[in-house]
A and B are shown apart, each in its own frame.
Chain A
């Protein structure tokens, strides 16, 4: 355990110094700042107002950019170290592969989750300071969703990082996965599939296995399900099961998906030649 935390601690320190982390933090922090500057909390559109509207907008943007940020920054974690022979040197010390791999996962999770979470905390605190009503239920839901979504894509990224030999290949696969999952969220999914006359159950089934779609639907599930902004698949899902059950699934499923992929990644990492 001690070595696992050692790897996590050093990975965290290294990441915090990296340029990508600065950009990553600025993007999410900047989004919140931009929303405040744009006066989103003071305006009212389609029933959303105040901090609820700001958080909803934040989460809608996060759905699109968080997965690709996590994928491209994490996917080189092991493959990049392998490419540059860092792995060869660092693993010449008595650290088990389990400690090294899970230490990297743990450290990287903190790095990718903390900025998105802290940006939201900042929004809440600033909103409180400005005297806005704080939507705590939304804040806790989004914290859970961001946690689950970060886990899912981190797990996928470590899996890719373990199976490929070069970091260029890892980046290519990451972009493909991101575009693929993005294409299969609600509007794009339904229009494409309706054109092909695919039955509704299959469309819903595909939507339900896509962590990005689960995240999107769960993010708006606290609002009135009659809202047209949801899209047809989201409406159908929320009509089919209770909101509480869906929120539970939307947090547990991506979490398990991330753990599964990270575990498979570890199995491959331990079975393959290290350098």
Chain B
């Protein structure tokens, strides 16, 4: 599904990814770990087609995420570590997601409800005015409603309380069949129950990759 070959990414003189070679396949549920600056986010952003590689490349379902970004992104759901301060209202954000990605609005409501987030009473509120936890719940609901083959979560539970984390894990376990899930995390215990592969990065390299 995702094939990364000899991928290096340099920012000025800093080498953020150093000749990374790795493959992620369907039914992999991966914990991507490493210290700050290990290159996890750079790797994720390269998969999403945000960075132009300094050398090497990324293929998602055989497609280049930069030149064929719309085709690639149809199959990816992404939740960032910190919800961005989007100034759209909740209803506008849902409208954007539904129109751009063909997501069924009812599914967003369904997953938001599962995450104990009441969309209806917050529809007219600006997204950035919601609490951190509410924002994260909505983004998770959107990612699940998109029903993508590839889901990428960057510290998805950072803003969630223990109950919401539990809800998130339950939903992921229910929906992870026939999917590739990538979880960027610092704490393995957060995702231990839902991953079957652990990848460690350090100084831009993959230092260990093991099935669990």
Contact = CB atoms under 8 A, between A and B. Distances in A.
A3 B97 CA distance: 11
A94 B73 contact: yes
Interface string A12-31: 01100110000000000000
Interface residues of B, number: 30
6 contacts: A84-B85, A85-B82, A92-B78, A93-B96, A94-B69, A94-B74
Max chain A CB contacts within 10 Å: which of B76, B78, B82, B87? Answer: B87
Interface in B83-129: 83-88, 92, 95-97, 99-101
A67 to B, nearest CB: 25
A10 B84 contact: no
B71 interface: yes
B96 A14 contact: no
Contacts of A91: 48, 50
A231 B45 CA distance: 55
B84 A3 contact: no
Given A93-B73, A93-B100, A95-B100, A275 B87 contact: no
Contacts of B76: 92
B80 A93 contact: no
B70 interface: yes
A92 B48 contact: yes
B50 A6 contact: no
A96 interface: yes
Nearest to B152: A92
Contacts of B85: 84, 86
B73 A86 contact: no
Interface string A79-116: 00000111011111111110000000000000000000
Interface of A: 2-3, 6, 10, 13-14, 17-18, 84-86, 88-97, 271-275
Given A93-B101, A94-B69, A94-B73, A88 B84 contact: yes
B87 A14 contact: yes
Nearest to B73: A94
A105 B84 CA distance: 22
Contacts of A273: 50-52
Contact of B80 (A88, A96, A97): A88
Contacts of B51: 273-275
A94 B80 contact: no
B99 A96 contact: no
Contact of B99 (A2, A17, A97): A2
A89 B74 contact: no
Interface in B121-140: 139
A88 B99 CA distance: 18
Given A14-B87, A95-B70, A273-B50, A89 B78 contact: yes
Given A3-B99, A273-B50, A274-B50, A92 B73 contact: yes
A85 B80 contact: yes
Given A88-B80, A275-B45, 4 more contacts: A6-B99, A94-B101, A274-B49, A275-B50
A6 B82 contact: no
B84 A85 contact: yes
A94 B76 CA distance: 9
Interface in B30-54: 45, 48-52
A138 to B, nearest CB: 38
A6 B96 CA distance: 7
A86 B82 CA distance: 10
Max chain B CB contacts within 10 Å: which of A89, A91, A95, A272? Answer: A89
Nearest to B100: A93
Given A91-B50, A275-B50, A18 B97 contact: no
Contacts of A17: 87
A98 to B, nearest CB: 10
Contacts of A92: 48, 73, 76-78
A89 B86 contact: yes
B148 to A, nearest CB: 10
The 10 closest A-B pairs by CB, nearest first: A92-B78, A94-B73, A94-B70, A274-B50, A85-B84, A86-B84, A93-B100, A94-B74, A273-B51, A275-B50
Nearest to A93: B100
Nearest to A91: B50
Contact of B69 (A2, A6, A90, A96): A96
A109 to B, nearest CB: 19
A158 B55 CA distance: 29
